[in-house]
Structure 1
Amino acid sequence: MGVRNPLAVKVTRRGAILAPLIGGAAGLTANGYAFAYAPGIVLDVTRYHVAPQQWRSAPPLRIAVLTDLHFGEPFVSLARIEEIVATANALRPDLICLLGDFEPGHRFITREVARADWARALAGLSAPLGVHTVLGNHDWWADAQAQSHRTSVPLAARALMDAGLPVHENAAIPLTKDGKRFWLVGLGDQIAYYRRGHGFLGRDDLAGALAAATGDEPILLLAHEPDIFPEVPQRVALTLSGHTHGGQVRILGYSPLVPSDYGNRYAYGHLEERGRHLVVSGGIGPGKLPIRIGVPPEIVLVELTAPT
């Protein structure tokens, strides 16, 4: 658990130059996102093959990753959710990971999708090793009682659990495939609470969560925000994250506005640092603005294998 920078978006000098140009271009369209990817229409499947040294004695896995769904019409309606579920199931993954931010988190909702409805729709996801979830910052921010009491279970978590979907917070779960065991660790959100004038306070306990993974089997870590990655130890074979929306506007591999203290370092995609692997999904729903340029809504499919 730690205090995070109250500045939610990292703006570089280059970004400060590009951002007004992008904003002006969006303003030329009739609805602000007509020339870009409409979050409620496009759905890509982005595939990564990751072969960490830590996975050399573990089973091959197909992992479907869904994150930042931000439910609510017109972008992520109930019909859209059902399409997302069908697409994910058709990939025949061994494991499905939901990385948080189910709540809208923006002001462009024309009609809410009830939490019970979107949770029931997500319960249609199916994989042999199960569907596993963590919460994102908006799932905490959207619940005033959870913000004020700090011990309450947020409404999004209640909806997920009522639908039979487990929510992991600083917890380790052993999973087995082909007789080989590994650990799935779900991290608490890193910016769950906003303290006016004092930045964000997280519910994350990386050391405690990893300590719960007893034995020496490799670890798959679910963390909504990728900013935890520099602290992730070598034992973790792969960290899966969302939160950034890939910068939401991405031109030639660069995003001028990224909600991360590390700017573009962990904005999007697969990267390796010191033998540890991170995959950051651009997610599905819209962020503070209903626009995506160069970052279409996506389901990520990770093929996790032993190194050759």
Structure 2
Amino acid sequence: MITRRGFLRLIGGSFLSMLSLGAYAVGIEPMLLTHVKRYSLTPPHWPAGLKLRVVALADIHACRPWMTPERIASLAAEANALQPDLIVLLGDYIAGMRLVTDQVTESEWASALSGLMAPLGVLSILGNHDWWHDHAAQRAGAGPTVARGALEGVGITVQENDAIRLEKDGHGFWVAGLADQLALRPGVEWGRTGFKGLDDLDGTLAKVSDSAPVILLAHEPDIFPKVPSRVSLTLSGHTHGGQVRLFGYSPVVPSRFGNRYAYGHVVEQDRNLIISGGLGFSIMPVRFGMRPEILQIDLG
């Protein structure tokens, strides 16, 4: 039978353990050296002679003290060191929470990202927070957003329902980017009762004018059930892997599909989706079991 002293020791030990775990999740894991998550796959119908390395960064959420311009610049250098053929940015550059010591302006984070370099270029899409925190765009119900202007100002192409054809070693392929699926948020001030997406999957893929493979960039992975097998690979962010992930399970996932599209490589009906765990965080500055990561994807 446990004594009173033993019970108090148990309670005290449990409290200290919880305090230590909380300190780790807030102060240590979010600031750990970035993990490079590597995937190697040959999607269906991928040309035999096309070997392509794509490096992806997602959900930067620039803010102080967590994601400063200096840290973003170091992430760009890490991405370059992976020797990618192509770099893609999967949206959410703007901070997604109020628990910060200071904001990082659009010009600051865009300047830090301007150091990204790859032979086939740097392509980007926008995320929900890049829209939600742009009040002029919310009032108008349309862009261009400040985030788009910041990226284009440093020479980074932004794809919103657009597709571009690239070529490597004599083989062509397409990169298609969707506008955000949650771009316009509800609010009395702009007369909307629900979220409205600006994505146009059919219209975007209609711009693909030949049979070359397609890589689709979609900030939220929830579009995936609608993506046709014509698309070789879909890349998404948004979920942050739930920010807390234990034994392959995330208790909270910002997706209507829950853990189905929380994180990692998903194959459904011979179609491939990779969801990044991202780099920053939103709502709360907590990461546990989900280190900040850069994706390295080797295709072919």
One fold, TM greater than 0.5? yes
Equivalent positions of 1:127-166 (< 5 A) are: 127-166=118-157
Which one is further off, 144-153 or 179-188?
144-153
5+ residue gaps, structure 1, are: 1-23
Q: Shift in Å at residue 25 of structure 1?
A: 8.1
Question: Do the aligned residues in 1 keep the contact of 2:29 with 2:288 (CA within 8 Å)?
Answer: no
Paired residue for 2:183?
Answer: 192
Which one is further off, 84-93 or 188-197?
188-197
Paired residue for 1:84?
Answer: 75
Taking the aligned partners of 1:83 and 1:140, their CA distance within structure 2 comes to: 26
Match of 1:247 among 227, 242, 248: 242
Answer yes or no: is 1:270 the counterpart of 2:300. no
Paired residue for 1:300?
Answer: 295
Q: After superposition, give the CA deviation of every residue in 1:171-198 in whole Å (9 maximum; x if it has no partner).
A: 0100000010011000110000112473
Taking the aligned partners of 1:290 and 1:221, their CA distance within structure 2 comes to: 29
Secondary structure class of the residue paired with 1:28: helix
Over the residues paired in the alignment, what is the CA RMSD in angstroms? 1.8
Q: Shift in Å at residue 280 of structure 1?
A: 0.2
Q: Shift in Å at residue 31 of structure 1?
A: 9.3
Taking the aligned partners of 1:158 and 1:144, their CA distance within structure 2 comes to: 15
Change (3 A) 1:111 1:231: same
Higher gyration radius (CA): 2
Higher relative contact order (CA closer than 8 Å, sequence separation 6+): 1
Which one is further off, 254-263 or 109-118?
109-118
Change (3 A) 1:282 1:35: closer
Question: Do the aligned residues in 2 keep the contact of 1:134 with 1:187 (CA within 8 Å)?
Answer: yes
Question: Do the aligned residues in 2 keep the contact of 1:39 with 1:291 (CA within 8 Å)?
Answer: yes
Change (3 A) 1:228 1:126: same
Paired residue for 1:222?
Answer: 217
Q: Shift in Å at residue 27 of structure 1?
A: 9.5
Amino acid aligned to 2:133: A
Taking the aligned partners of 2:228 and 2:124, their CA distance within structure 1 comes to: 22
Secondary structure class of the residue paired with 2:112: helix
Aligned length: 282
Paired residue for 2:7?
Answer: none
Q: After superposition, give the CA deviation of every residue in 1:235-255 in whole Å (9 maximum; x if it has no partner).
A: 100000000000111000001
Amino acid aligned to 1:104: A
Question: Do the aligned residues in 2 keep the contact of 1:65 with 1:299 (CA within 8 Å)?
Answer: yes
Secondary structure class of the residue paired with 2:115: coil
Taking the aligned partners of 1:183 and 1:63, their CA distance within structure 2 comes to: 13
TM score, norm. by length of structure 1 = 0.88
Equivalent positions of 1:63-142 (< 5 A) are: 63-142=54-133
5+ residue gaps, structure 2, are: 1-13
